[in-house]
Amino acid sequence: MASILPIMPSRPRLTTAEEVSARAAAATSEKPKTERSEEDRARRKERVEKAKDALARSNGMKGEHVVAGRAALKLFLRNLNDTKQPNDEQFEAICEAPFKAPPKPKAFGGQGGGGRGR
């Protein structure tokens, strides 16, 4: 009767130094180095400072809008190297998000009037 267990190789295959260096060379050649102008660097630095300032000022505040706003700021800082960045209007909204409470819904949803039919 034949064994139903799979045949295991005696040793796992080891990666050679040539393969490691070839992978490293391929990884570095895939990413073209982006050159940023001085204007872009200054704008980027200003945005980072504003985002970090907003995070620092919102620390300790309470509310669901604060949590969501801080998460948006952290996501912005995490994705600084992405090519798609928010425009100035979107960035300002992200920076102000932790400080602006959403409007409260009106109770009972109707027009005022007291409820008595006089």
Is pLDDT larger for residue 11 or for residue 84?
84
* 116: its two tokens: 């008595």
- pTM of full prediction above 0.85: no
Mean pLDDT of the region 23-38: 70
97: Cβ contacts below 8 Å, ≥ 6 apart: 65, 68, 69, 72, 73
Q: What pLDDT score was predicted for residue 47?
A: 93
Is pLDDT larger for residue 33 or for residue 70?
70
* 94: its two tokens: 């992200």
Per-domain boundaries in the chain: 39-101
Please, what's the b/e burial string for 48-75 (b: 16 or more CB within 10 A of its CB; e: otherwise)? eebbeebbeebeeeeeebbeebbebbee
Rg (CA), the chain: 28
Q: What pLDDT score was predicted for residue 107?
A: 65
Q: What's the DSSP call for residue 54?
A: H
